[in-house]
């Protein structure tokens, strides 16, 4: 555990120092560490695929739960991987799968949100309290300000929407970002000092 | 009556919304689109770039968000090619190359030459670390393009080595990649960053725009339609924007009906109790 903590400290200091010191050795080491990160991320994707296959293969073998969906997932995963590796991911064959399956499925999932939002808004978006009324009014103004029809109803809707986005909403987002940044620095310092050890795994 | 409205079958809501969204696709309404300042700023920045300048387009959206962002990619590609600006396509999300190929195919009759006018570096995992690494050394980070050709063999890439060689990066983003470009490229190297986003991500990008860290941004399908108007080439986004208008109007009407029914019922119940 202590060895892992020491490695964390050394690597983190190298990555930090490269921003403050112009020492070629530190810059080179920082560059290498960043490249390692990319390689590890690539391996993590492979590991995720392996884990996915393991879980769903087991489900198919035991015919547990919705195993037919697991079987379909495995077939698609194998076929798509084969097509990508054999023909290349810019090939016409890969494009057939992308345009015919991945694209419409992704678009459908996203498009269904519109219907759920319409139904949920009708049922739940009620001016029951002052807060809810403000939320309701702001929502309607932003929606009308974002669609050309809003300008036809009242020419000032886009300006009003713009003010809402650039003054109250931006103030809230800035507060969120500053809070998150300070939180990030605090966690970073805790990791550096060895107080935070969650990234090393194990523990309570 | 009010109770019936409040307990309306959700399938009726779905059907009305479907009709509202589909109708303008068959009979476009042709509603005028005014140009927002954020779109105008992005257009103006690109328009003042000299021929031969280098722009990186980071294609970081999923098929789900493509309806809003892909028309932006096509419109900006058309503008860049018309200005003879060199384009480096890349992606931090795995669908980058598919959208790049489609955008180039739909960009029109500019006939760009691969390796001279544009390159496609494809998808690279690593998220923020990739942006950090490419800012220091693009050739070491992307050793090959999306087809496996060494980027050292691509003539256009000979002079594009670090963030300092890039005149503009545009993050076509449905997740969070714009934060990495702002943090790792704009803040550290001063490389200008623009954004092309789905509408839900605009609010949390406005602080960067207001601070000058993002030079301009496109807001969803509306932003794409605005850009199509700016380049004088109305396309997919301009047609589909009418559906946004009718869809938004229908949702607002449902919200209003829902509230009328709710308050009407509440008052009637109060009167009965009294």
pLDDT digits (tens, 9 = 90+) for B203-232: 999 999 999 999 999 999 999 999 999 999
Instruction: Identify the pLDDT of residue A95.
Output: 85
What is the chain B residue with the closest CA to A107?
B64
The SS3 of residue B114 is strand
Instruction: Identify the pLDDT of residue A203.
Output: 56
Q: How many residues does chain A have?
A: 204
Contact status of B257 with chain A (Cβ, < 8 Å): yes
In this predicted structure, the answer to whether residue B114 has a pLDDT above a threshold of 90 is yes
In this predicted structure, the answer to whether residue A58 has a pLDDT above a threshold of 70 is yes
The SS3 of residue A148 is helix
Are the Cβ atoms of A38 and B124 closer than 8 angstroms?
Answer: yes
Q: For residue B261, list chain A residues with Cβ-Cβ distance below 8 A.
A: none
Contact status of A14 with chain B (Cβ, < 8 Å): no
Q: For residue B70, list chain A residues with Cβ-Cβ distance below 8 A.
A: none
Q: For residue A121, list chain B residues with Cβ-Cβ distance below 8 A.
A: 251, 254-255, 258
Nearest by Cα to B97 from B27, B43, B54, B147: B147
Instruction: Identify the pLDDT of residue B270.
Output: 85
Contact status of A120 with chain B (Cβ, < 8 Å): no
Query: Under a CB-based contact definition with an 8 Å cutoff, are residues B37 and B226 in contact?
Result: no
A105, A147, A167, A179: best to mutate for the B interface, most B CBs within 10 A: A147
Give the Cα separation of B104 and B231 in Å (integer): 16
Contact status of A129 with chain B (Cβ, < 8 Å): no
Q: For residue B34, list chain A residues with Cβ-Cβ distance below 8 A.
A: 148, 151, 158
Instruction: Identify the pLDDT of residue B274.
Output: 77
In this predicted structure, the answer to whether residue A204 has a pLDDT above a threshold of 80 is no
Cα angle vertex A147, ends B64, B218, to 5°? 55
pLDDT digits (tens, 9 = 90+) for A102-161: 889 988 998 899 899 999 999 888 999 999 999 999 999 999 999 999 999 999 999 999
A123, A150, A175: best to mutate for the B interface, most B CBs within 10 A: A123
Instruction: Identify the pLDDT of residue B268.
Output: 87
Are the Cβ atoms of B248 and A146 closer than 8 angstroms?
Answer: yes
Give the Cα separation of B120 and B129 in Å (integer): 20
Contact status of A133 with chain B (Cβ, < 8 Å): no
pLDDT digits (tens, 9 = 90+) for B237-253: 998 999 999 999 999 99
B26-39 average pLDDT score: 90
Nearest by Cα to B90 from B49, B118, B114, B70: B118
Enumerate the H helices of chain A as residue ranges.
Answer: 2-17, 24-62, 67-87, 92-97, 103-124, 130-146, 148-153, 157-166, 168-192
Contact status of A28 with chain B (Cβ, < 8 Å): no
Question: pLDDT tier at A202 (50, 70, 90 boundaries)?
Answer: low
For a pLDDT cut of 70, what percent of chain B falls above it? 100
What is the chain B residue with the closest CA to A175?
B207
| Cα end-to-end distance, chain B, whole Å | 21
Are the Cβ atoms of B207 and A177 closer than 8 angstroms?
Answer: yes
Contact status of B247 with chain A (Cβ, < 8 Å): yes
Rg over alpha carbons for chain B, rounded to the nearest Å, is 22
Instruction: Identify the pLDDT of residue B108.
Output: 82
Instruction: Identify the pLDDT of residue A115.
Output: 92
Q: In what order do the strands lie in the sheet with B118-123?
A: B118-123, B86-91, B54-60, B168-173, B193-197, B214-219
A11-37 average pLDDT score: 90
* Shortest alpha-carbon distance between residue A82 and chain B (Å): 16
Give the Cα separation of A6 and A13 in Å (integer): 11
Which of A94, A102, A126 has its CB closest to that of B259?
Answer: A126
């Amino acid at each position: 555990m202590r060895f892992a903590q020491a490695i964390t400290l050394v690597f983190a200091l190298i990555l930090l120092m490269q921003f403050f010191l112009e020492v070629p050795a530190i810059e080179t080491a920082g560059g290498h560490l960043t490249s390692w990160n990319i390689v590890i991320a690539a391996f993590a994707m492979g590991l995720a695929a392996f884990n996915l296959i393991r879980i769903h293969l087991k489900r198919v073998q035991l015919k547990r739960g919705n195993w037919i969906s697991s079987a379909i997932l495995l077939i698609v995963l194998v076929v798509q991987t084969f097509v990508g590796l054999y023909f290349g991911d810019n090939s016409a064959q890969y494009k057939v799968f992308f345009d015919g399956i991945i694209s419409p499925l992704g678009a459908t999932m996203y498009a269904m949100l519109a219907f759920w939002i319409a139904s949920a808004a009708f049922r739940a978006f009620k001016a029951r309290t002052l807060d809810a009324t403000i939320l309701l009014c702001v929502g309607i103004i932003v929606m009308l300000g974002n669609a050309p029809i809003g300008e036809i109803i009242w020419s000032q809707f886009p300006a009003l929407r713009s003010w809402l986005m650039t003054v109250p909403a931006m103030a809230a987002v800035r507060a969120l970002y500053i809070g998150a940044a300070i939180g990030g620095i605090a966690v970073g310092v805790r990791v550096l000092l060895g107080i935070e050890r969650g990234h090393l795994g194990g523990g309570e | 009556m009010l109770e019936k409205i409040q307990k309306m079958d959700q399938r009726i809501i779905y059907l009305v919304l479907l009709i509202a969204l589909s109708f303008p696709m068959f009979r476009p309404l042709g509603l005028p689109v005014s140009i927002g300042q954020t779109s105008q700023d992005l257009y103006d920045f690109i328009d003042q770039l000299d021929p031969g300048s280098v722009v990186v387009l980071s294609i970081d959206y999923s098929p789900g968000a493509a309806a809003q962002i892909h028309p932006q990619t096509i419109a900006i590609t058309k503008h860049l090619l018309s200005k003879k600006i060199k384009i480096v396509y890349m992606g931090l999300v795995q669908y980058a190359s598919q959208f790049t190929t489609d955008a180039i195919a739909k960009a029109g009759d500019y006939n760009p030459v691969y390796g001279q006018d544009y390159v496609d570096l494809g998808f690279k995992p690593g998220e923020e670390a990739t942006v950090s690494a490419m800012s220091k050394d693009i050739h070491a980070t992307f050793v090959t393009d999306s087809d496996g050709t060494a980027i050292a063999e691509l003539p256009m890439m000979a002079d594009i080595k670090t963030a300092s060689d890039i005149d503009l990066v545009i993050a076509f983003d449905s997740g969070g990649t714009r934060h990495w470009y702002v943090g790792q490229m704009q803040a550290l190297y001063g490389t200008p960053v623009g954004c092309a986003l789905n509408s839900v991500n605009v609010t949390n990008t406005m602080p960067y725009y207001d601070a000058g860290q993002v030079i301009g941004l496109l807001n969803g399908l509306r932003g794409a339609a605005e850009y199509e108007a700016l380049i004088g080439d109305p396309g997919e986004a301009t047609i589909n924007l009418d559906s946004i208008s009718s869809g938004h109007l229908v949702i607002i009407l449902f919200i209003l009906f829902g509230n009328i029914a709710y308050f009407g019922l509440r008052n009637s119940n109060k009167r009965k109790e009294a």
